[in-house]
Structure 1
């Protein structure tokens, strides 16, 4: 499930420093004195205290309760380290594993937890390695560090390193070209060449998967050898990439940051020219970007004109001061437009914040903003937690409808502010049609739609099957999905709210249908390992369609589906039989990848496997 590719992400481009709500605890006496291998930590003179200014603010950051765990075993992953710490009754706040270097940085919410970790873990033997723990230096503020390195203490807008294809000096290019190179890096590449590159990327993923299957399931080697002969060296057939019907103005959801313009203009709404950690906070208008629809650009311009008339400053990720944070715009083919305004009240009185909302209402209903034709206006109050996600923040309806609606594959879907819906509607129709074809469904089938969002995939397949069961974490999306099923006249669909790893095993164990197909469309990081283990245990689940927005990140899922049975991984393995890329993000290197996995049947002669005695 890929709502926003990195090029268009806004909140994810906030600083790596993560201030959080105040906690009752004491910081390190001198957090800048410790030397460590942390980013920006090694070799930095203590006189550079400005790069640690954020830890002295009236904010909590777990960076001040940070340790470095050294001499870790080889080949461990994030989940391995987290389980190890939890086993010792430690509650880490953040973990950053430095894989090849065999050490990790771990932060805690308070000094007591940090000191307990140092006492408990230091000297412990784990997988043949004796661990050592020491205090770690907080991460330097990346913007201030970059300025100091560049000798630039002025506007903090160093030249981005990413260059346009065919240009040598990005610095000499117009801002419209520079921002296009950031948010749509392939905009100057012919579309057929874009498709070729994306298909090549998926092919490289299949090569890795082929190797990993051979390493994790020796019994599959005979089958794997045959597949490689048939499919140009990979484990399954790679079908031609499916293009997006629309290559421009296709994004139905865009997130715009608010900051100082790269041209020096204050209160500019658009995209960041670079990332905070690269030393830049400057913003460029989306007016010339080709992936943003005209309707969204109208809202951006209207909102920018509005905030420039207000006395409130834009929020600064450097100082944590200011108010205007972000604008999210959702559009649809039904000509409805949703605008979500993110505002940090700071220490404003409640009546002043209410006055801001009322002013916005008047502007977009009776004022100049009326021409932007916003039909659903929401207001979100944000706190100091600059890098937190927005999914849990309540939206206050300012004016208009609470939702917008979209039409897809002849069906109508309600969309709430926080609900997931594919950002390219026309290409989503291509994607979901392919998923339905690959799933090989009939009227006796039961479909498990995991990470279902507003229910688009399951609802689009419901009339072809006996039952659809959707699972989704976001309550807003589940509410939308239930309404969508009812609005489309479906009675054989049910939805469950919760973490997939908690809900999925329960749902599976209650199913008695002999014909079960799972369709999973998870976030970038893939499914929780508990979900994969539950899928493996459910022997009546014979087919799985995996929609991956980042196939490389989902590799562990793919391998666990195929690995040999063990005490941890029970049940017959799956094997990949088809793969295909679908281009949902033209002008970028991102695409969706569909993989069809089928359960190995030990009873057939051509399975390539022998049943475990």
Structure 2
């Protein structure tokens, strides 16, 4: 490879990679250029040389893509939150089908060349869609700033008007920063200082209710901040404290305490309401979550006789979409508060055919199966790491006749399909844009057990 760091080269961009970067070839060497678009001729500077590829920064666009647009965010080039705001939105949707194809081509699950990949379902108005904000907090020369880290760094970029964040959550975050400064509360510093590390703010779209978590590295008295916040924002229903003393990239510590207000807020999806405790997982784009759950229900093709297993159930939201239409729902999650929410949500809806347990899917499902339980339909909505190997082994040993895989990571989805296609046939993959202007997409995969496999007894 005849390339060196700081070398400047011309490059024609052939396609976009899975992280939204432009990809070209220089003398048969793969070059990744963030910010470049397919079809562009660019001039770039090498920033890193690896064994089989190199990375470069964009210096100049000699031939611009006709789909390039001016990003609507003032900190887009600095903040690591979005990767595709410079690409026209309809072309972002096409790209999100392509990254599914790229992942499938890399891992090559059986029959992948013939999978039906349906056009990405996008948003009519793809801005201010994020109902959950999770900003880092730092102090600079006595001024408190909040925002996101620049891509690949721990350098904080102050964000006061995020284009994709719900406007009210952003406004509350700006107020929190001012109050932390006003009352001179200690702010966390990775080298020496204990204090406020991160603030999470979530808004329920259906009710407008707000929930806050202060993540701190030592116990603090937040009384004055809380009093000012609840006076100014009647929408706030919960303020909680989470203590994380570890020097780690993980946001949360183990214990969360409600300091003020209710234990939960109320949200709604499809035709039912449910409760969310501060730590419980819920999709960050409520508008597209309606579409996501509709597609999951559609893919499972309910007959009414199903015993549905809802792995990684969270507060039960996906499973509850099926509950009135099936014989039974069973779910599990590692967060106790989420399972408590799931049980409460099922009780509020008057459901008697649900069962939820705290624990890992890969531990609980084998236990249930050992005790004689058999699911006839399976929904999995795993974290970005995909399915655990023990859970995969259980699914392959006792495969329900039909399965829906909801994925937020195309790479781990394609990896898992290499195992699942031993017993399942992929009927289609439906891409849904849960994260406009980013390189991420959500996918709903419809799987059916192959007919030539022995039926389990």
TM-score (norm. length: structure 2): 0.79
The count of aligned residue pairs is 393
Alignment partner of 1:258 out of 137, 149, 167: 137
| Aligned equivalents of 2:73, 2:185: Cα separation in 1 | 26
Alignment partner of 1:415 out of 255, 265, 276: 276
Higher helix proportion, which one? Answer: 1
Name the counterpart of 2:158. 284
The reply on whether 1:378 has 2:237 as its aligned counterpart is no
The reply on whether 1:272 has 2:149 as its aligned counterpart is yes
The reply on whether 1:324 has 2:196 as its aligned counterpart is yes
Shift of 1:386: 3.2
Deviations 1:61-82 (A, max 9, x none): xxxxxxxxxxxxxxxxxxxxxx
The reply on whether 1:520 has 2:380 as its aligned counterpart is yes
180 and 198 in structure 1: CA distance in 2 versus 1, 3 angstrom threshold: farther
454 and 553 in structure 1: CA distance in 2 versus 1, 3 angstrom threshold: same
SS of structure 2 residue aligned to 1:393: coil
The reply on whether 1:362 has 2:236 as its aligned counterpart is no
The reply on whether 1:558 has 2:417 as its aligned counterpart is yes
Name the counterpart of 1:574. 424
Name the counterpart of 1:537. 397
Shift of 1:325: 0.7
Name the counterpart of 2:187. 314
**Contact persistence 1:256–1:270 (CA under 8 A):** yes
Deviations 1:186-219 (A, max 9, x none): 223221011011011112223345x343xxxxxx
| Aligned equivalents of 2:76, 2:376: Cα separation in 1 | 49
Deviations 1:432-486 (A, max 9, x none): 1111111111111111110011101110111111111112111110000111111
Q: Name the larger-Rg structure.
A: 1
**Contact persistence 1:296–1:330 (CA under 8 A):** yes
| Aligned equivalents of 1:437, 1:292: Cα separation in 2 | 29
Shift of 1:537: 1.1
**Contact persistence 1:286–1:292 (CA under 8 A):** no
| Aligned equivalents of 1:603, 1:362: Cα separation in 2 | 63
| Aligned equivalents of 2:168, 2:86: Cα separation in 1 | 23
Name the counterpart of 1:188. 86
Alignment partner of 2:291 out of 389, 409, 430: 430
Name the counterpart of 1:243. 122
Range moving further from structure 2, 574-583 or 190-199: 574-583
SS of structure 1 residue aligned to 2:402: strand
Shift of 1:372: 6.9
The reply on whether 1:343 has 2:216 as its aligned counterpart is yes
| Aligned equivalents of 1:365, 1:372: Cα separation in 2 | 6
Deviations 1:199-242 (A, max 9, x none): 11112223345x343xxxxxxxxxx4xxx7xxxxx132111211
Shift of 1:357: 2.4
| Aligned equivalents of 1:189, 1:247: Cα separation in 2 | 13
Shift of 1:358: 2.0
In structure 2, stretches of 5+ residues that fail to align are: 1-46, 48-55, 64-70
| Aligned equivalents of 1:600, 1:189: Cα separation in 2 | 40
SS of structure 1 residue aligned to 2:290: helix
| Aligned equivalents of 1:212, 1:249: Cα separation in 2 | 36
Alignment partner of 2:406 out of 524, 529, 547: 547
Shift of 1:361: 2.7
**Contact persistence 1:260–1:281 (CA under 8 A):** no
SS of structure 2 residue aligned to 1:532: helix
Q: CA RMSD in A?
A: 2.8
| Aligned equivalents of 2:170, 2:284: Cα separation in 1 | 16
| Aligned equivalents of 1:401, 1:179: Cα separation in 2 | 39
502 and 164 in structure 1: CA distance in 2 versus 1, 3 angstrom threshold: farther
SS of structure 2 residue aligned to 1:308: helix
| Aligned equivalents of 1:486, 1:163: Cα separation in 2 | 55
The reply on whether 1:402 has 2:274 as its aligned counterpart is no
**Contact persistence 1:252–1:293 (CA under 8 A):** yes
Deviations 1:306-347 (A, max 9, x none): 111233442122x142412111000012110011112222xx
Name the counterpart of 1:305. 178
| Aligned equivalents of 1:504, 1:406: Cα separation in 2 | 28
Shift of 1:496: 1.6
Shift of 1:184: 2.1
TM-score (norm. length: structure 1): 0.60
Higher strand proportion, which one? Answer: 2
**Contact persistence 1:179–1:284 (CA under 8 A):** no
469 and 371 in structure 1: CA distance in 2 versus 1, 3 angstrom threshold: closer
Name the counterpart of 1:65. none
| Aligned equivalents of 1:237, 1:525: Cα separation in 2 | 24
**Contact persistence 2:79–2:151 (CA under 8 A):** no
